[in-house]
Amino acid sequence: MGLHTQCGGVLIILAIISYLINLGMSMVKTEQENVHAFFVFTAAIWLLTTTIVGLLLVYNFTYPVLSKSSLYYLPLHAHLGIAGWFLLLITGIGSRLIPMFLISKYSNNKTLWWIYGSINGGLLAFVFIFLYTDNRLLMAIPLLAVVAGIVLFSYFCYQAYRQRIRKKLDEQMKVSLLAVLMMLIPVIFLVVIIIILLMSAKENTSLVITYGFIIFFGWITAIILGMTFKTLPFIVWNKVYHQLAGKGKTPNPKDLFSNTIFKWMSVAYIFGFVLFTAGILLDFTWLLQIAAALLLVTALLYNWNVIKLLMHKPASL
């Protein structure tokens, strides 16, 4: 954690500041208020906060810039990134893309602002309680606030699903909606972890590891797997066929990738995720190895389909 790591951290922060400036200038130029843009911009602010805390932790290994060890502040650093960057970003963009791809009539900015306020309010409360109090019971306040935001987001997606015009769901939307349901799983684990900590000073390591795993390999991974093949095909189609549109028959965006590969990827992912979670909790090495192989297959099939999509050449019209 010497000079190279410290300089790397500074460069990452400069990159995020550049991103924030670019995003802010785009928002200023828009004529209408866009709640989704506020989600993304605020998520980027939390990302900047996360990286600043991370850089302080790096410097703390060499210089006493913090009052306690870097490991003490690791939960703060992790949850700023998970709830501030990932959760806020995914709820903001998901609340725009899911109704759009469902072709849903549902729209409720008031609910979205409540989601925005719940997640950000919970995060601010978490930071204050973590830094200035030692009362673990108070952690229930930010937890409940963030859970309220997740429940409201799930309700928002459910209403969009109910009022959809396109009744038949494709495989990509099924995986994306599954990701929304999976957002509640780490919350359940976190509640269990907090209860165990309140009853005993000893941490349950397997539960903590499972909690981290189901965040990054659960709802975050699932929504990326689903939404990649809802958004990227349109981008590629527009690049390849925008000059040919109207001059002949062009393929649909969904025809630019293999739906069969996507289905096998989804099956490998679901089994890999479930088995790996069970392997951590049961401490079965052989189960972890099988699950890891399935998750590797998921990654290979995902990349295969993405490369196939990006390498698409225009068909003769």
Q: Residues for the chain: how many in total?
A: 317
181 and 139 housed in the same domain: no
**Token representation of residue 162:** 């109910």
Structural domain range at position 90 = 1-166
Number of domains, the chain:
2
17 and 157 housed in the same domain: yes
Please give the residue that has the higher pLDDT: either 107 or 277. 277
Please give the residue that has the higher pLDDT: either 304 or 185. 304
pLDDT average, residue stretch 111-132: 92
52 and 128 housed in the same domain: yes
**Dist CA 124 CA 141 (whole Å):** 11
153 and 296 housed in the same domain: no
Confidence of residue 245 (pLDDT cuts 50, 70, 90): low
Q: Backbone phi, then psi, for 106, in 5-degree steps?
A: -75, 135
pLDDT average, residue stretch 107-124: 92
180 and 300 housed in the same domain: yes
Confidence of residue 114 (pLDDT cuts 50, 70, 90): very high
149 and 20 housed in the same domain: yes
The residue type found at 121 is: G
Confidence of residue 198 (pLDDT cuts 50, 70, 90): low
Q: Is the pLDDT of residue 53 over 60?
A: yes
CB 272 within 8 A of CB 291: yes
Q: What is the pLDDT of residue 60?
A: 87
Q: What is the pLDDT of residue 203?
A: 66
Q: What is the pLDDT of residue 287?
A: 94
Confidence of residue 20 (pLDDT cuts 50, 70, 90): very high
pLDDT average, residue stretch 249-263: 85
**Cα dist. 100→75, 257, 310 in Å?**
35, 20, 23
**Dist CA 283 CA 273 (whole Å):** 15
46 and 109 housed in the same domain: yes
Q: Is the pLDDT of residue 314 over 80?
A: no
Which residues share a beta bridge with 104? 164
Question: In the listed set 139, 166, 193, which residue is the last one of a domain according to the structure?
Answer: 166
Q: What is the pLDDT of residue 27?
A: 86
Eight-class DSSP state of 255: G
Question: In the listed set 166, 198, 215, which residue is the last one of a domain according to the structure?
Answer: 166
Q: Is the pLDDT of residue 317 over 60?
A: no
155-173 pLDDT per residue, tens: 998 898 888 887 888 888 8
CB 103 within 8 A of CB 166: yes
Q: What is the pLDDT of residue 120?
A: 94
Confidence of residue 274 (pLDDT cuts 50, 70, 90): very high
Measured distance between the N- and C-terminal CA atoms of the chain, rounded to whole angstroms: 57
110 and 173 housed in the same domain: no
Q: Is the pLDDT of residue 58 over 70?
A: yes
Angle at 139 between CA 47 and CA 200, to 5 degrees: 120
Provide the mean pLDDT of the chain.
Answer: 87
**Dist CA 76 CA 67 (whole Å):** 14
Question: In the listed set 126, 142, 166, which residue is the last one of a domain according to the structure?
Answer: 166
Q: What is the pLDDT of residue 285?
A: 93
Confidence of residue 202 (pLDDT cuts 50, 70, 90): low
Question: Which of 5, 38, 33 has the alpha carbon at shortest distance from 23?
Answer: 38
223 and 161 housed in the same domain: no
179 and 123 housed in the same domain: no
197 and 297 housed in the same domain: yes
132 and 204 housed in the same domain: no
